[in-house]
Amino acid sequence: MRLVLVGPPGSGKGTQAERLVTKHGLRYIGTGNILRDAIKRQTPPGLRAEPYLKQGHLAPDDLVNELVRELFTGAECPNKFVADGYPRTVAQAVWFDKLLAGLGCRLDAVIQFDVSDEEVVRRISGRRLSQTTKRVYHVQDRPPRVLGVCDEDGLPLVHRPDDREDVIRERLRVFHETTDALVAHYRARGLLKVVPAVGSPDEIYDKTMAQLTPRT
């Protein structure tokens, strides 16, 4: 399989990517991983990428594309993969299509994990973290035995700044700004498979595989 996963923060996309990697032997391709590896190896694109990563900014399309080209034309070119976070824009998607075509392969499917903005806000804003055990709770879905206190160490739980509603809604705004057009692009190409991202991770995985398995 050669897959691209699309979904907002909190959709469970990362969890499903891990399952696809484990169960099907796919190579995981995440832009963050690619950037960090290139920086570690101090390649020319890695040196260009380092300031963006340090400042928390998105790298420009041409730089991300060059990093992807390095991966796919190198000695460890992945034959089967699941891409998470790339392509991020229509321009990246068009470029990636051409790269794969030049290598004699193509995408099999683009999986969109569909969940409402309000559900994303509920999922992420309800998270609470233990600073010592790193255990993550949720005020509704996975509450501690005592409100606001870690079950293991008895210390107060933390509501991280990134998990606050105003921050989440801004992340969603940016997500829709680029991803809605990307989804439309892949829908027009007949590659889009929509998976409702509700239920347990097992249920969502089963829905994903149902979309990927040819019906007889």
Are the beta carbons of 186 and 110 closer than 8 angstroms? yes
Is position 169 annotated as part of the catalytic site?
no
For helices 117-125 and 165-188, give the axis angle rounded to 10 degrees. 140
Identified catalytic residue from 88, 122, 123, 207: 88
Identified catalytic residue from 2, 13, 128, 207: 13
Longest alpha-carbon distance in the chain: 58
Question: Cα(2)–Cα(105) distance, rounded to whole angstroms?
Answer: 9
Identified catalytic residue from 23, 40, 98, 160: 160
Token pair listed for 153: 């160490």
Is position 171 annotated as part of the catalytic site?
yes
Torsion region of 215: left, alpha or beta (phi above 0 gives left; psi -120 to 50 gives alpha): beta
CA angle (187 as vertex; 184, 192 as ends), nearest 5: 120
Rg (CA), the chain: 19
Is position 13 annotated as part of the catalytic site?
yes
Is position 41 annotated as part of the catalytic site?
no
Identified catalytic residue from 69, 80, 135, 171: 171
Is position 40 annotated as part of the catalytic site?
no
Identified catalytic residue from 19, 122, 127, 128: 127
Token pair listed for 52: 């963006």
Amino acid at 84: D
3-class SS at 135?
A: coil
Which residues are identified as catalytic? Answer: 13, 88, 127, 160, 171
